[in-house]
Structure 1
């Protein structure tokens, strides 16, 4: 117990003296440097001059100069301040009196200046006011109905009558070859509605194929008149030749035209969806084959067909190009290429 108290006794750092470090113990480094020769000094006793620098080009101000400058910056005495204030007041008073005593220019604008300004104002008003009143009147006339109450007028949608309202190609601006090419293409376009035209047959085949892929029945089996469909499609088809370029030396010509008519692809897609939905409700399979549709079933399909035609978009526009070749002294239309181009608006 006595040893513990001695170990835990407080030590006063101010009276404890200097501590004894390990290397201060006697005999710690004995024999450590035995056999090691001391290194010789590099200078070998020669004189050594340390690096020097030039004297700074600066002179500190003297105590007298500093005292004079501090005296100059001191505030003026009270008498000097009052004297300066009186001088400033006297100068201001003299300036006000001089301003009051100066003669005033009471001359107004000359009669000539007044006349010129009046004429200028009149000219501006005469030119601006009529246009302003006209614009305001036109604005209110557009916003006012027949009853006189202002209202917003909805823009009118352009009406479509199956034909392009703009004029066709100017035949007088074409040379003989270009006029010949235009006449050949017009004769071809007017013949596509004939009973035996390949374009009309392609329109009928397009509808038949669409119904077969959807229901497994032909148009005749569904009760749809494909010939009536072709008549409707081609009777609402119109065109306008836009331009023609003939290169006789190269033996080629190009004719460009716009076409308008019903969107047959969209119409057929609508018909396929409605007929498919109806046929899905019927039990048309008999012994692994399609049974003939009853008269009432065909009548309902015809109603769906008439509804699709009634809701068809009638202003579908296309831009086509026909190619012609100069063969044996005659311009000939590339029928295969023309039929392919017409497949876009006629949906085949």
Structure 2
């Protein structure tokens, strides 16, 4: 029998089948094992603390995660919870250490990789946990995520409606997209929808240290009703400055569409057309899902995608249909 099943039975964090319960009780009787009532009381006592676990390093762009963390902290406070931020190495051992100290009521795991080593550890611990992203295997934990695949379909449909023929996705994660399942699903959705519209689709790795290579890829396609798609504010700003030096004007010579929150566009002199990842909506959903799990540990697993419903047209869209 799995250790996690025994753990769920002992701490009451998840339902266990009658057959498994009977086997555990028989083993306890044979071993003359008696649960420590004081420890169990401590284990079930509420702390009204939630631990938010995010991988941050010197190379991380902290401003990209701030809208999510800020929303979680503010909403948690409104609901009577405080938030502990774990932004060190955030390895699986940190989960075990925190659980052993009984310092929080649940975890929110952020920056989820396709095969994230923290997830099976969190499932084994049995403390209420929400996976903030899309793993290959959630191990039965609740998942909340922004649906990038759906957003990719919206982006392509929008560009098709404006007469686009070439779609070029410039992405920092292009070379390492296997680490993050949402990136692979975004590419696949866009590629499939482009094919359905008779449009060409390509992904080019975006490296700020090698802008000439990116500009070369753009120059090769610019005469064929080109749309550039970027992700997050900083790469969008970088490519806009590079295009300006090249004498290319988004909104006139090509379409530029950014996948980034509306709130992050304030610093742009020229506002790019965008689709928002809805950081407030997805963060509030994640927090409420965790609190619901804390209050009702035995309920079925919850998987909640948050979906955008539109692209916002701003200054960098070209309607190529008017040029034919």
Asked if Structure 1 and Structure 2 have the same fold, meaning a TM-score greater than 0.5 normalized by the shorter chain, the answer is no
* Superposition TM-score, scaled by structure 1 size: 0.21
Larger Rg: 1
Structure with higher strand content: 2
* Superposition TM-score, scaled by structure 2 size: 0.22
